[in-house]
């Protein structure tokens, strides 16, 4: 029973959060559209539902906040009060509070928020709005939280008891109660204002025959033909899906092993008819496994909309506090991405968005002076390109000031003056991602918080992705984020160093080279190699990983194999002893390993059954060449 309860609670939290995610952008839409009944209804219903379920689960603070907020929504919906910014602000505050309360429930930290002040504020906002609009004076309950109700024998709204209706047959009581129903005209039920009911005398209608008159054509306008779609959904615990994902990964690994083994048999017993059967069977398994892998991956995919839903609100709040008029346009919010992308992409996107509003866009006056429309635009465009998800965030602001970036980076000692001079404009845009570049001092309260854009880069690297910046003076800046479709399975190059195998994700590898040891030069303590007239820093994998062996013990070999890694327009080489070949690997994450410092992304099991570390080239590039010299 307790497990059951835990499950229900966790389901409630998820569902309530989803509801909030869904309605939050509606508020902004509402503010733009004015009093839109459909929107108001939608929001009202979600609040109502959260309140209802929270009541069952005994989460009184949630009930109180949702109830007070819903009170305002109801008056708005019924047109009793006009939609004002102050009301919207306080309702949005209640959404934030609900999120906070849900977060506490989720983390089971037992922290209790005092919702009293907010409930009071909500009540007060309603009172003010009502007195302004000259509507009916609010009753006291608007300002005070509902009393906890353990049973259904009391009216939460007016405090009036309807006990006799509840405990006896309601039908018999209708007529006697009809006399004390003052506001029958306001009996607005979403989409069901059937005129008969408003004019009709209240009378018991138990006989269904009478109801036949109000026949089927009464179907409300709000019943679109899309029930099938939602009816086919199944809510499954993520752990179960991840288990399947994990097992599918294992199957992939076994498949790889089987492929290896069958090739061995194919060579050795080429004439045995059973070999052919084996080969056919294995190739079938191969195909099915690939399909299964894709299918399982798809289970975890969700529309990215989930992450984007909070942005209209963010833009609204921010644009008013920096006093810039901003329009946010989002394309491709239906694009599906892996759940882990959903979980980790929110912060970087938020950060970029804040940055664009704060630093990218100019003030209205400045824009007018430049001959631009006063309203700034930010466009988020999301699409799938091959096996990658691309997210572009563009503003039509002033663009990055390359010279200023360079000067500041030099001031902060992130790069030397010569480096600054040599830097191409493209490379210079990368400065904003350098750790320590944007600091509290330079950032405003909005984009600041002491974390810089380097966090954006780090978070995106965690998803095996990368970010690029394109900027043009006075035309705007575009941040382009590319993330692989799935994080679980990647193509990798298998290499060997000091007898141990490692996997290097294939996507950032530009090429592999076989060079003579003599070709490696040393410039001021840094090994480099010249590739097609360009100098490229070279690192020994052994040294990077601190394996203790230095790789030079293999004196006989005069050759080195280099893996050239390209990140953006920067390159570096990793020297290894041997290149083994390409393999599809399933990433198994390693708990408790700091991937950034150990350069290990995870582990995998290879076709021959060995555990192999997968190297994290993104953090290598960041540590080795991202911050200049070590």
Partner 1 sequence: MIDQNMKILVVDDFSTMRRIVKNLLRQIGYSNIDEAEDGVQAYLKLKNGGYSFVVSDWNMPNMDGLDLLKKIRSDPELKDLPILMVTAEAEKEKVITAIQAGVNNYIVKPFTGEVLKDKMDKIIEKLQVAK
Binding site for partner 1 (CB under 8 A): 4, 8, 11-12, 15-16, 19, 42, 45, 48-53, 55-57, 149-152, 155-157, 162, 165-166, 169-171, 174, 177-178, 180-181, 183-184, 186-187, 189-192, 197, 200, 202-206, 208, 211-212, 214-216, 218-220, 222-224, 226-227, 230-231, 235
Q: Which is nearer to partner 1, 160 or 365 (CB)?
A: 160
Least distance from partner 1 to the Cβ atom of residue 123, Å: 17
Least distance from partner 1 to the Cβ atom of residue 526, Å: 59
Least distance from partner 1 to the Cβ atom of residue 72, Å: 15
Q: Which is nearer to partner 1, 11 or 511 (CB)?
A: 11
Q: Which is nearer to partner 1, 8 or 611 (CB)?
A: 8
- The three-state secondary structure class of 186 is helix
Q: Which is nearer to partner 1, 53 or 431 (CB)?
A: 53
CB-facing half-sphere around the CA of 261: CA atoms within 13 A: 13
Q: Which is nearer to partner 1, 46 or 429 (CB)?
A: 46
Q: What is the DSSP string of 294-322?
A: HHHHHHTEEETHHHHTTHHHHHHHHHHHT
Least distance from partner 1 to the Cβ atom of residue 39, Å: 13
358: tokens are: 């704060």
Least distance from partner 1 to the Cβ atom of residue 220, Å: 5
Least distance from partner 1 to the Cβ atom of residue 199, Å: 12
Residue 241 CB neighbours (<10 A): 14
Q: Could you tell me if 325 and 364 are in contact, meaning their C-beta atoms sit under 8 angstroms apart?
A: yes
Q: Could you tell me if 453 and 437 are in contact, meaning their C-beta atoms sit under 8 angstroms apart?
A: yes
Q: Which is nearer to partner 1, 240 or 449 (CB)?
A: 240
Overall residue count recorded for the chain in this entry:
630
Q: Which is nearer to partner 1, 111 or 181 (CB)?
A: 181
Q: Which residue has the tokens 């989460």?
A: 59
Q: Which is nearer to partner 1, 181 or 368 (CB)?
A: 181
Angstrom distance (rounded) from CA 240 to CA 357: 40
Angstrom distance (rounded) from CA 608 to CA 616: 22
Q: Which is nearer to partner 1, 68 or 356 (CB)?
A: 68
List, in order, residues 6 or more apart from 624 with CB less than 8 Å away: 537, 539, 544, 572, 630
Q: Kindly tell me the burial class for residue 433, based on how many C-beta atoms sit within 10 Å of its own C-beta (0-12, 13-18, 19 or more).
A: buried
Q: Which is nearer to partner 1, 9 or 258 (CB)?
A: 9
Angstrom distance (rounded) from CA 117 to CA 126: 14
Q: Kindly tell me the burial class for residue 403, based on how many C-beta atoms sit within 10 Å of its own C-beta (0-12, 13-18, 19 or more).
A: exposed
Q: Which is nearer to partner 1, 149 or 442 (CB)?
A: 149
Least distance from partner 1 to the Cβ atom of residue 237, Å: 13
569: tokens are: 């327009």
For residue 144, give the DSSP letter. Answer: S
Least distance from partner 1 to the Cβ atom of residue 341, Å: 24
Angle at 262 between CA 259 and CA 268, to 5 degrees: 145
Least distance from partner 1 to the Cβ atom of residue 119, Å: 17
Q: Which is nearer to partner 1, 230 or 522 (CB)?
A: 230
Q: Which is nearer to partner 1, 58 or 117 (CB)?
A: 58
Q: Could you tell me if 568 and 555 are in contact, meaning their C-beta atoms sit under 8 angstroms apart?
A: no
Least distance from partner 1 to the Cβ atom of residue 230, Å: 6
150: tokens are: 């353990």
Single out the residue of 571, 560, 585 nearest to residue 496, CA to CA: 560
Q: Rounded to a whole number, what is the distance in angstroms from the first to the last CA of the chain?
A: 58
Distances (CA, A) of 591 to 144, 531, 594, 595, 600: 48, 38, 9, 10, 11
Least distance from partner 1 to the Cβ atom of residue 131, Å: 23
φ/ψ of residue 619, rounded to 5: -75, -30
Single out the residue of 345, 621, 617 nearest to residue 502, CA to CA: 617
Q: Which is nearer to partner 1, 185 or 552 (CB)?
A: 185
Residue 117 CB neighbours (<10 A): 10
Which helix (H) or strand (E) element contains residue 259? helix 238-268
426: tokens are: 């493209």
Q: Which is nearer to partner 1, 51 or 406 (CB)?
A: 51
| φ/ψ bin of 449: left (φ > 0), alpha (ψ from -120 to 50), beta (otherwise) | left
Q: Could you tell me if 561 and 495 are in contact, meaning their C-beta atoms sit under 8 angstroms apart?
A: yes
Least distance from partner 1 to the Cβ atom of residue 346, Å: 24
Least distance from partner 1 to the Cβ atom of residue 306, Å: 17
φ/ψ of residue 261, rounded to 5: -65, -40
User: For the chain, how many helices (H) and strands (E)?
Assistant: 23, 18
Least distance from partner 1 to the Cβ atom of residue 312, Å: 21
Residue 287 C-alpha from the chain's centroid: 32
Least distance from partner 1 to the Cβ atom of residue 413, Å: 54
φ/ψ of residue 522, rounded to 5: -120, 115
Q: Could you tell me if 525 and 543 are in contact, meaning their C-beta atoms sit under 8 angstroms apart?
A: no
Q: Which is nearer to partner 1, 98 or 353 (CB)?
A: 98
Least distance from partner 1 to the Cβ atom of residue 540, Å: 55
């Amino acid at each position: 029973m307790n497990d059951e309860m835990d499950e229900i609670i966790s389901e409630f939290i998820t569902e309530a959060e989803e509801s909030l995610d869904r309605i939050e952008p509606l508020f902004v839409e509402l503010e733009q559209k004015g009093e839109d009944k459909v929107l108001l209804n939608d929001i009202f219903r979600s609040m109502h539902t959260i309140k209802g379920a929270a009541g069952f689960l005994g989460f009184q603070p949630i009930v109180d906040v949702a109830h007070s907020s819903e009170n305002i929504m109801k008056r708005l919906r019924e047109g009793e009060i006009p939609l004002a910014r102050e009301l919207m602000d306080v309702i949005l505050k209640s959404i934030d509070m609900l999120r906070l309360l849900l977060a506490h429930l989720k983390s089971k930290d037992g922290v209790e928020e005092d919702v009293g002040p907010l409930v009071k504020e909500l009540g007060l906002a309603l009172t003010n709005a009502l007195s302004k609009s000259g509507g009916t004076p609010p009753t006291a309950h608007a300002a005070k939280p509902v009393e906890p109700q353990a049973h259904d024998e009391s009216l939460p709204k007016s405090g009036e008891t309807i006990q006799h209706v509840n405990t006896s047959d309601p039908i018999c009581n209708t007529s006697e109660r009809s006399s004390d129903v003052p506001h029958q005209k306001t009996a607005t039920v979403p989409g069901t204002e059937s005129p008969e009911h408003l004019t009709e005398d209240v009378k018991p209608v138990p006989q269904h025959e009478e109801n036949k008159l109000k026949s089927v054509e009464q179907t409300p306008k709000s019943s679109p033909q899309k029930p099938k779609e939602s009816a086919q959904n199944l809510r499954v615990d993520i752990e179960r899906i991840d288990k399947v994902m994990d097992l599918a990964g294992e199957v992939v690994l076994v498949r790889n092993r089987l492929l290896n083994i069958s090739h061995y048999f194919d060579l050795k017993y080429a004439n045995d008819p059973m070999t052919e059967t084996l080969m056919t069977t294995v190739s079938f398994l191969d195909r099915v496994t690939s399909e299964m892998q894709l299918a399982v991956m798809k289970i975890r995919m969700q529309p990215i909309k989930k992450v984007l839903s909070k942005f209209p609100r963010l833009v609204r709040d921010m644009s008013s506090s920096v006093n810039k008029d901003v329009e946010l346009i989002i394309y491709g919010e239906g694009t599906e991405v892996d759940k882990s992308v959903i979980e980790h992409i929110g912060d970087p996107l938020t950060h970029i968005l804040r940055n664009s509003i704060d630093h990218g866009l100019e003030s209205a006056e400045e824009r007018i002076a430049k001959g631009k429309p006063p309203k700034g635009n930010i466009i988020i465009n999301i699409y799938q390109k091959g096996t990658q998800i691309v997210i572009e965030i563009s503003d039509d602001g002033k663009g990055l000031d390359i010279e200023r970036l360079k000067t500041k980076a030099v001031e902060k000692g992130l790069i030397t003056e010569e480096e600054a001079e040599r830097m191409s404009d493209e490379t210079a845009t990368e400065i904003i991602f350098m750790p320590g570049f944007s600091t509290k001092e330079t950032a405003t309260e909005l984009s600041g918080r002491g974390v810089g854009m380097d966090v954006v880069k780090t978070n995106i690297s965690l998803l095996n992705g990368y970010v690029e910046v394109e900027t043009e003076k006075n035309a705007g800046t575009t941040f382009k984020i590319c993330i692989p479709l799935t994080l679980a399975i990647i193509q990798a190059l298998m290499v060997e160093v000091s007898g141990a195998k490692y996997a290097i994700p294939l996507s950032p590898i530009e090429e592999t080279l076989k060079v003579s040891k003599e070709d490696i030069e040393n410039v001021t303590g840094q090994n480099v190699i010249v590739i097609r007239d360009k100098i490229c820093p070279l690192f020994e994998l052994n040294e990077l990983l601190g394996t203790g062996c230095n790789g030079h013990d293999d004196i006989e070999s005069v050759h080195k194999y280099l893996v050239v890694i390209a990140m953006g327009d920067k390159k570096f080489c990793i020297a290894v002893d041997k290149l083994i070949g390409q393999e599809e690997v399933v990433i198994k994450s390693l708990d408790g390993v700091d991937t950034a410092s150990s350069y290990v992304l995870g582990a995998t099991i290879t076709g021959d059954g060995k555990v192999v570390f997968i190297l994290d080239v993104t953090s290598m590039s960041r540590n080795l060449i991202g911050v200049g010299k070590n």
